[in-house]
Structure 1
Amino acid sequence: MLRASQILVRSIALAASAAVLWGCGQRGPLYLPGAPEASQRATLPETLSPVKAEPAAPATAAPPASVPR
């Protein structure tokens, strides 16, 4: 049989879990933003892989680093 402390702990854990699930998320209907400011926001693939592939700059001939002999 469950003791009073076990019942209390389980009740608190259940209430905390319900509060977390109830409090997350966006309120209101879902929509796709169409404002010009939204065009500058990151997309899902950009969010998952934040390293942007930029075109490589032309390599310039750099003098070799001096190596101690």
Structure 2
Amino acid sequence: MNPLAALTLTVLLTLSACGQKGALFLPTEPAAAQRATLIQTLRPGPPAQAPAPVSAASAPASSASSPATTP
């Protein structure tokens, strides 16, 4: 089979097989709040902890912020 024909057939089958009918929307009913999000579906397990914000006092000073003076 011609590679271009195989690629075209693959693309057409992929696009036709999505299964979604009608307009896309974000559900707002209360039952939707209990459903898993896409990230939770892709990474099952406990939710990841967000990294703690770094305060200016604990952040190391970069060398670009203060010019070094050399004799």
Normalised to the residue count of structure 1, the TM-score between the two structures is: 0.45
Q: Which has the higher contact order (CA 8 A, sep 6+)?
A: 2
Q: Which has more radius of gyration?
A: 1
The answer to which structure has the higher helix fraction is 1
